[in-house]
């Protein structure tokens, strides 16, 4: 129980990577505030069934007032120790078919959302004397990719926030970005990606499979615990070998 007595805000916690991180942090003893634009009741119930402690808050991370309210009034579980910010959206379309409104939405959720949630978490941690910030970027924070340019740009920006905040708030607050490669969540499910796309992606990976949300959650737990004591300003890859840099 390396996180006993800690309070963690986890965004994107209704499903996928955020949900797996919420469960894993709670399993290590953290009290979890599960945040999503959707209902997090299932995540909270699962944590309670495990014997953990969690509450749910509904919030659009791109909405400044909603995020400010969440941190001003929504955290009744004690001082904030950990932010795991996983809320995000994907966008796959050729550039010449992409509207400005689509670009704006991806940037608003992925980049502005990271800015807003990170700023309010850091505001509290700065006042309380320290904490751990983990943003979820992507392996696409390291390279360009055709038909994903707004998403790629947003994730380059998320990594830039993490690196800059690490410098601005050291040594009390560590700030890192997890940069996953393809992880088997709804984001890569049939609503967004074809079976042919998924197979091509898997074939191109050194480890020949998509990652599991629980594997990303293990890295998050490591960063939040003693293993993360000397890690800040990094983009940590967990990608099955999609990136060799």
Residues in contact with ligand NAD by CB under 6 A are: 12, 14-18, 36-38, 60-62, 86-89, 109, 113, 136, 138, 180, 182-183, 185-188
Q: Among residues 88 and 225, whose Cβ is nearest to ligand NAD?
A: 88
The CB-of-171 to ligand NAD minimum distance in angstroms stands at 27
Q: Among residues 187 and 231, whose Cβ is nearest to ligand NAD?
A: 187
Number of helices and strands in the chain (H, E): 8, 7
The CB-of-177 to ligand NAD minimum distance in angstroms stands at 10
Question: Would you state the structure tokens that stand for residue 183, as one six-digit string?
Answer: 């992880």
Instruction: Tell me the CA distances in angstroms from 38 to 31, 60, 177, one per residue in order.
Output: 20, 9, 23
Q: Among residues 38 and 168, whose Cβ is nearest to ligand NAD?
A: 38
Note whether 150 and 102 are within 8 A (CB): yes
Note whether 44 and 77 are within 8 A (CB): no
Q: 173-180 and 131-136 as β-strands: parallel, antiparallel, unpaired?
A: parallel
The CB-of-129 to ligand NAD minimum distance in angstroms stands at 28
Note whether 220 and 25 are within 8 A (CB): yes
Note whether 125 and 147 are within 8 A (CB): no
The CB-of-89 to ligand NAD minimum distance in angstroms stands at 5
Residues with a catalytic annotation lie at: 151
Note whether 183 and 205 are within 8 A (CB): no
- The tokens 């390396």 sit on which residue? 2
The CB-of-172 to ligand NAD minimum distance in angstroms stands at 26
Q: C-alpha angle 152/158/160, rounded to 5°? A: 105
Q: Among residues 163 and 212, whose Cβ is nearest to ligand NAD?
A: 212
Note whether 156 and 139 are within 8 A (CB): no
Q: Among residues 80 and 217, whose Cβ is nearest to ligand NAD?
A: 217
């Amino acid at each position: 129980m390396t996180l006993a007595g800690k309070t963690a805000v986890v965004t994107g916690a209704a499903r996928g990577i955020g949900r797996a991180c919420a469960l894993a942090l709670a399993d290590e003893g953290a009290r979890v505030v599960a945040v999503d634009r959707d209902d997090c009741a299932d995540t909270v119930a699962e944590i309670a069934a495990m014997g953990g402690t969690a509450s749910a808050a509904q919030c659009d991370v791109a909405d400044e007032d909603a995020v400010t309210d969440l941190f001003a009034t929504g955290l009744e579980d004690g001082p904030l120790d950990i932010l795991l910010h996983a809320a995000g959206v994907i966008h796959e379309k050729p550039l010449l078919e992409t509207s400005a409104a689509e670009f704006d939405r991806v940037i608003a959720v992925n980049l502005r959302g990271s800015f807003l949630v990170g700023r309010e978490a850091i505001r509290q941690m700065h006042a309380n004397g320290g904490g751990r910030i983990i943003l979820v970027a992507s392996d696409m924070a390291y390279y360009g990719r055709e038909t994903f340019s707004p998403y790629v740009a947003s994730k380059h920006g998320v990594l830039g926030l993490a690196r800059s905040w690490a410098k601005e708030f050291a040594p009390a607050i560590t700030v890192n970005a997890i940069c996953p490669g393809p992880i088997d969540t709804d984001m890569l499910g049939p609503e967004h990606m074809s079976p042919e796309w998924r197979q091509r992606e898997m074939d191109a990976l050194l480890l020949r499979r998509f990652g599991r949300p629980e594997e990303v959650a293990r890295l998050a737990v490591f960063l939040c615990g003693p293993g993360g004591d000397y890690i800040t300003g990094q983009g940590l890859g967990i990608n099955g070998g999609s990136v060799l840099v």
